Every structure is written in C-alpha cells, then in structure tokens.
Amino acid sequence: MCADSSEIKGLKRKDLLGILELRREEIELILDTAISFKEILERPIRVVPYLRGKTVAFLFFEPSTRTLNSFNLAARRLSCDSVSVSASSSSILKGETLLDTAKNLEAMKLNFVVVRHSSPGASHILAKNLTSSVINAGDGSHEHPTQALLDLLTIKEHFAKFEGLKVLIVGDIEHSRVARSDIWGMKKLGMDVSVCGPPTLIPRDIEKMGVRVYYNLKEAIEGKDIIYVLRIQKERQAIGLFPSTREYIKLYSITEEVLEKYAKRDVVIMHPGPVNRGIEIAPSVADGTRSLILPQVTNGVAIRMACFYLLPGGEGREEGRVKREEGRGMRDEGRERREEGGERRDER
C-alpha cells in the first residue's frame, strides 16, 4: 500500500472534527493515504483486512446520501463492522440525548463514531466524552471536514498542485459547512480563495478567513481555475434571504452561457451535492466535460477509508504510529491478497 516498513504514520489526534484544527502535514498525510486506497478500490476484490474486528457507529440525525453511504462503503472495504442510528428509528424519539445514545453504543464496544447533526459542535461534545475516535460528518453550518478532504483530493488529482490555484466558491456561503471547511483547507494548501453570492448569504467578516468577496458573478468568475458551486440551503434559512429563486438563478446560476462568456477555457466545476439542477447550476454544466462532481463522490470513499485507517479508533498510538497487525506491512498484505486472488483465478 503506502508504506515500505511495517509501520504507517497515523494521525496524532483521537478525533477528526474539523479542517481548522488540522495542520497542513496532516491534510497531506490523509490525501496521500487516500491515493493509496484508491488503488485498492480499482481491484476486482476491493476489500482489505486492516480494520478487521473494529466497529463503527453511524449516528446520522440529518439526511445524507453521499456521506453516509461512502463512510459505510469505506468501513466495509476495510473489513470494519458497522451499526447505524437515525433520529427516526432510535430511542432519541423517546427523549434520549445524543450523548446518552452514543455512550450506550460505546458500551457495546466501538472504535469509531461518525456523527452528522444539525447542531454545530455536536461532534465536539461526543469527542470529549467518548474513548472512540469521533469523525464529524457535518455539524450544522459549522464544518464538514471529510467533504473538504475529498474536494482537495479531487483538485490534487486534476491539477497535480494546490499552490496558486484560484477557486471561486459561489452561493449560500452563510449556511455552508462545506464552504467553511473548504476555505480553511484550500488556504492551508496555498490556494487563492474567493467567494460570491448575494450579500445576505455571505457571512459578515468572512474576509478575516483570507478570502476575497464578490457580489457580481461575472466579475468573480474571471481568471478562476475552479468554480465550486453550493446549494441554496432552504432548510437552514429562518427567513428568505434572497427575493426569489428566479432572481437567484438570473444573478448566480452557473450556466453554459456564463461560462462561455466569462470563465477560463479550462475551468473545472465542483459541487458537494445534492445538486439543485436548474437553480445554482444548469444540468448541462453539472453533467458536462468540465464537471468534477462524480469524481468528487468517488474520492469520498478513499478519503473516508484513509480517515478510519489513520485515526486510532479507540486504541492508543505509539508516537502517532500505527502498529500494523503482527508487524506485517500493508504492501505485503496487499501483495499476498493479489497473489491469493491469482491462485483462485488459476484454480478455476
């Protein structure tokens, strides 16, 4: 896999709660590990035994398609068992708190808790009170670290660099945990980040994050390498913060026409999903040759495998190093598995 020796450097932290707290080297370690896992995902048999005997609990109290299923697949690809809790089918309905729910699950012997919750800081509370490694899968409009990591991996694969790349994040910045995590991650890796949207959807003081602010899309798009489109999050708006959807489309929708007139020829389009087709982005752009939307989703599995692999999962780390099972290197394990696969094919 990704190491020549029997030891792979792990993260020196128990939990993954946000991009803000990660050092550049930690981000790069996660990306490099994910690139190694992508190789495994291309194999005919996409399962490795690295987390055999470990268990993850998924606590998702907000809807999810991409994040939940890619975490789930990542766990399965690593031979990790899983249990799932949702607000609608658990004792949360009977008044049990999030923390009590998590502690009861941990009493059944867990290694990881992956949590999505509408309250900013929900994952921090669990992290403080559990011995399992907690991964934030989105907390309100605060952070969505694994989304930012998969976005960075997609950018790295396309451009083979970060330094100096110009990205424009367009849409509902105010309510977007993805925007916050992406801005922190992109800035840490040397990218030039701008945001654009209606004034009511741009947080006050966002310039303090080191980004440039535009209200006019046509000006904003010029010279950018990446346009990162965000969904209008109606579920997080207490009041309508823009006059009408029709007006939003007219001023901020990313269409072929806007790209043809104002964007660089080789600009790429990203979006975290779910996509509101015909609102923030035209279907032809979402499905077009410039779109990296599905590669982003593909990279989500490898990034989440890397996060599970690099976090301690409720077990101590020696100086941030993962002790491999019986001292065997990941590369050796991978080779053995390939050889086993070859033998099986030969037998047929």
Minimum CB separation of residue 324 from ligand CP in Å reads 31
Q: How far apart are CA 298 and CA 38, in angstroms?
A: 9
Distance from C-alpha of 325 to C-alpha of 138, rounded to nearest angstrom:
32
Closer to ligand CP at the Cβ: 138 or 314?
A: 138
Number of residues that bind ligand CP (CB under 6 A): 9
Q: Give the integer Cα–Cα distance in Å for 312 and 318.
A: 10
Q: How far apart (Å, rounded) are the C-alpha atoms in residues 50 and 307?
A: 13
CB of residue 308 to ligand CP, shortest distance in Å: 17
> CB–CB of 132/316 below 8 Å?
no
Question: What one-letter code names the amino acid at 288?
Answer: G
Alpha helices in 233-292 (DSSP H): 245-252, 256-262, 283-286
Q: Within 10 A of 221 (CB to CB), how many other CB atoms are there? A: 22
Nearer to ligand CP, 77 or 116 (CB): 116
Q: For residues 147 and 276, which CB has a smaller minimum distance to ligand CP in the complex?
A: 147
**Residue 66 found at the interface with ligand CP (CB under 6 A):** yes
Site for ligand CP in 259-278 (CB under 6 A): 272-274
CA 294/CA 299 separation, integer angstroms:
9
- x-marked contacts with ligand CP along 107-146 as a string, rule CB under 6 A: -------------------------------x--------
Question: Contact between 181 and ligand CP (CB under 6 A)?
Answer: no
CB of residue 323 to ligand CP, shortest distance in Å: 33
64 near ligand CP (CB under 6 A): yes
Q: How far is the CB of 103 from ligand CP (least distance, A)?
A: 25
Minimum distance, C-beta of residue 285 to ligand CP, in the bound complex (Å): 18
Q: Which of 55, 147, 276, 299 binds ligand CP (CB under 6 A)?
A: 147
Q: Is residue 55 within the footprint of ligand CP (CB under 6 A)?
A: no
List of E strands, the chain: 7-9, 55-60, 81-86, 112-117, 133-139, 166-170, 192-196, 212-214, 226-229, 268-270, 321-323
Task: List residues binding ligand CP (CB under 6 A).
Answer: 64-67, 138, 147, 272-274
